[in-house]
Amino acid sequence: WASLIPNQFVIQNAGNMGVVSAGVGWSYGCRRQWETALLAGFIPRHQSDCAKMTMTLKQNYMPWRIALGDRWHFEPLRFGLYVNTVFGEQFWGEQPHRYPANYYGFSTRYRLNVCLGSQLHFLIPSGRNRSAFERVGLFYEVSTCDLYFRSKVLGGNLSWSDILGLSLGIALQL
């Protein structure tokens, strides 16, 4: 049962999941090479009537780690897949009946995303001055979603900068 208790707190900026997202995560595997996170995000009112909330389920894999001294570790490859949703009546999982059959071949509510990045960890020394956290991880990711990638592949006039996004984050490990 102890493995069901989250062992990290994650905050991320951007990544097709809102201006800011925060949530809990689980780091596991023999080398902690797997991470699963559940994040809630916020999209401010910009060109729409109201602000929106998002929810993301994310899975990361880091195949190797490089020690940079006693307290620093670098994970040069961080690969992830995640599904996110935006809450709101204007987003739908199944095509509404007001459109002809198969008019849209995709849901506007759910997006599948893929990301690549790196992460740098600092191990907090044990002792009286140590907080509740064992280590702090700083990461970046370059990501895209299924719809953007599909548009690029099917010959849309999109540049790579149109479909790729950069996100930054911090993971506080218990």
Ordered per-residue pLDDT tens for the chain, 174 residues: 777 899 999 999 988 888 999 999 999 999 889 999 999 999 888 767 788 899 999 999 999 999 999 999 999 999 999 999 888 776 656 655 666 666 566 666 788 999 999 999 999 888 766 677 889 999 999 999 888 888 888 877 888 888 899 999 999 998
* Sign (positive or negative) of CA dihedral 32, 171, 75, 128: negative
Dist CA 76 CA 63 (whole Å): 9
Q: Are 19 and 42 in contact (CB under 8 A)?
A: yes
Dist CA 174 CA 172 (whole Å): 7
Give me the pLDDT at residue 130, please: 67
Dist CA 162 CA 152 (whole Å): 9
* Sign (positive or negative) of CA dihedral 159, 163, 168, 173: negative
Phi, psi of 162 (to 5 degrees): -75, -30
Give me the pLDDT at residue 102, please: 62
